[in-house]
Amino acid sequence: MPGFYLNDIHRVTTKTYSPSNQDVLNARLKTVGVVEHLFQLENGGEKGMDWRIFDVGGHRDHRQVWAPFFDDVNAIIFLAPISAFDQVLMEDKKVNRIEDSLLLFRSICANKLLGKVNIVLFLNKIDILERKLKAGVKVSRYVCSYGERPNKLQPVASYFLSKFMAVHKESKPNLLRELYPHLTKMTDTEVTAALISDVREMILRKQFQDSSLM
């Protein structure tokens, strides 16, 4: 896509070019199948807990392999590109990407096997969403239910957030399960670090509750 790299075309095409951290963050790699990440987070400079994350591809053809990875999970992080309101699925040009994300989110929320697993919702790419809105792309043209609401970042983000939260409320088999929603742009390392810290605290709190320590 035009943008970040083309704006820096002279820098990235030099013979001595070496990717910066920001270059890596702006790279777009499609998740295919299931990718496992194992790492350790430090806690105040001390050795922290081990994290095992399974990154599962969202393509429709990849979803049937998810089930084995739902066993004994501490949390589910659901990542939805909020900027995709004007895009369709590659595998089905008749389906809006936001609508597909909502349907998929509903199926996960309603899954009885996941009834006790808290969900972290990342409505991602709000920076791209803001650029689209400022360029004059009308949400109501692609999402009829948006109606005459203001075509600005905060109202649009709040509208989509309310849709996801309503799906969780209507579909959850366990009334005590919590949803932790966030509006994000994963290229912002400071915000992402704070979100990871929130997720860690949520997982620890859930473990304490399960062990009757809270």
126 assigned to a ligand binding site? yes
27 assigned to a ligand binding site? yes
Which two tokens mark 101?
A: 């994300």
Backbone angles phi, psi at 25, to 5 degrees: -65, -30
125 assigned to a ligand binding site? yes
25 assigned to a ligand binding site? yes
103 assigned to a ligand binding site? no
174 assigned to a ligand binding site? no
Which two tokens mark 150?
A: 């203001």
Looking at residue 28, what DSSP letter applies? -
Query: Residue 119: which H helix or E strand, with range?
Result: strand 118-124
26 assigned to a ligand binding site? yes
28 assigned to a ligand binding site? yes
Contact between 110 and 144 (Cβ < 8 Å)? no
172 assigned to a ligand binding site? no
149 assigned to a ligand binding site? no
How many residues are there in the chain? 214
Q: What are the binding residues for Mg(2+)?
A: 31
Q: What are the binding residues for GTP?
A: 25-31, 124-127
Q: What are the binding residues?
A: 25-31, 124-127
